[in-house]
């Protein structure tokens, strides 16, 4: 049984993004102080990009040594390099192009006009191999074949999807592979690449972001089912949890459907 999820509720999406950015700065700086480097997994969407934009403006961002930060992605739209809808394109615009990252430590997923062409399965297998090559030979994450992510960020969709793991789809039921190709995403584009739940659960901490009233039902359903494996195929967000901790970062609108026992003390 993983540690119980913690819930933090903020006034609105902007306050949530600022608070999440400050928390991420502290978490990354702490990991670097303890182990020399840190590793994060980014998410796209309005809340993931909002966090990155807030981090770009955060007064404490200089406490992070960006040259010792490994950056990965939880999923990607399988589109041409530089396409405005690709998560990496949006992340570069929001933050990455403005900080001194080591290019060798930035790990985007393949584009549809890259080395693997239109073969999304080959692109997924290549990212799985890249993750495995970066995994340490010891530690809890070693068996999963992924690096030891300090923080893995996930947006939560109105249908409870996380990364590109959608309710009822094959990818959310994957138990062996760490990365899968997605062929029939209900959100465009239909072709995507995604980490799987085994890869997500290898992270030290998983942070789930949700803001807006359109996320309230998904948040309530996921937290009601959290840590109950039987429901993951229909409520993927319920299966997203970290080894050491799971944090839900919400605004008041997204938290509106939660019962009192799941809300933090006022």
Q: Which residues contact 199 (CB under 8 A, 6 or more apart)?
A: 131, 144, 145, 146, 178, 179
Above 70 in pLDDT, residue 231? no
Element (H, E) at 193: strand 192-195
Q: Residue 59: what pLDDT?
A: 87
User: In which domain, by residue range, is 78 found?
Assistant: 6-258
Question: Within a domain: residue 254?
Answer: yes
pLDDT tens-digit readout, 127-176: 999 999 999 877 666 677 999 999 999 999 999 999 999 999 999 999 99
Task: Report the distance separating Cα 258 and Cα 193, nearest Å.
Answer: 31
Question: Within a domain: residue 109?
Answer: yes
Q: Residue 84: what pLDDT?
A: 98
pLDDT tens-digit readout, 41-89: 999 999 999 999 999 999 899 999 999 999 999 999 999 999 999 999 9
Question: Within a domain: residue 155?
Answer: yes
- Give me 143's structure tokens: 């068996």
Phi, psi for 165 (deg, rounded to 5)? -100, 105
Shortest CA distance to 115 belongs to which of 127, 103, 101, 98? 127
Question: Within a domain: residue 39?
Answer: yes
- The enclosing domain of 131 has a CATH number of 3.40.50.1360
Above 70 in pLDDT, residue 100? yes
Q: Span 182-199, mean pLDDT?
A: 96
Q: Residue 141: what pLDDT?
A: 63
Task: Report the distance separating Cα 244 and Cα 102, nearest Å.
Answer: 27
Interstrand relation of 205-210 and 245-251 (parallel, antiparallel or unpaired): parallel
Question: Within a domain: residue 248?
Answer: yes
Shortest CA distance to 74 belongs to which of 16, 184, 168, 155? 155
- Give me 129's structure tokens: 């191999």
Residue 229 has a CB neighbour count (10 Å cut-off) of 10
Q: Residue 144: what pLDDT?
A: 79
Above 60 in pLDDT, residue 101? yes
Question: Within a domain: residue 212?
Answer: yes
Task: Report the distance separating Cα 11 and Cα 100, nearest Å.
Answer: 32
- Give me 21's structure tokens: 């950015």
Task: Report the distance separating Cα 253 and Cα 231, nearest Å.
Answer: 24
Q: How many domains does the chain have?
A: 1
Question: Within a domain: residue 265?
Answer: no
Q: Residue 97: what pLDDT?
A: 97
Question: Within a domain: residue 238?
Answer: yes
- Three-class HEC string of 120-176: HHHHHHHHHHHHHHHCCCCCCCHHHCCCCCCEEEEECCCCCCECCECCCCHHHHCCC
């Amino acid at each position: 049984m993983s540690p119980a999820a913690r819930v933090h509720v903020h006034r609105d999406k902007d306050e949530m993004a600022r608070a999440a950015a400050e928390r991420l700065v502290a978490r990354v700086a702490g990991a670097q102080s303890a182990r020399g480097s840190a590793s994060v997994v980014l998410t796209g969407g309005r809340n993931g990009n909002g966090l990155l934009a807030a981090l770009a403006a955060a007064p404490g961002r200089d406490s992070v040594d960006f040259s010792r930060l490994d950056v990965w992605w939880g999923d990607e739209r399988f589109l041409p390099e530089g396409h405005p809808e690709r998560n990496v394109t949006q992340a570069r615009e929001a933050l990455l192009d403005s900080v001194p990252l080591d290019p060798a430590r930035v790990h985007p997923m393949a584009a549809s006009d890259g080395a693997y062409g239109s073969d999304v399965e080959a692109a997924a297998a290549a990212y799985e191999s890249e993750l495995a090559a970066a995994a340490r030979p010891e530690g809890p994450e070693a068996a999963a074949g992924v690096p030891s992510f300090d923080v893995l960020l996930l947006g939560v969709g109105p249908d409870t999807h996380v990364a590109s793991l959608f309710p009822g789809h094959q990818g959310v039921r994957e138990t062996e592979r760490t990365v899968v190709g997605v062929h029939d995403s209900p959100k465009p584009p239909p072709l995507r690449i995604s980490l799987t739940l085994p890869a997500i659960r290898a992270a030290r901490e998983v942070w789930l972001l949700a803001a807006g009233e359109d996320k309230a039902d998904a948040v309530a359903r996921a937290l009601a089912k959290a840590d109950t494996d039987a429901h993951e195929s229909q409520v993927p967000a319920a299966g997203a949890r970290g080894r050491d901790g799971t944090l839900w970062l919400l605004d008041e609108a997204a938290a509106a459907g939660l019962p009192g026992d799941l809300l933090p003390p006022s």
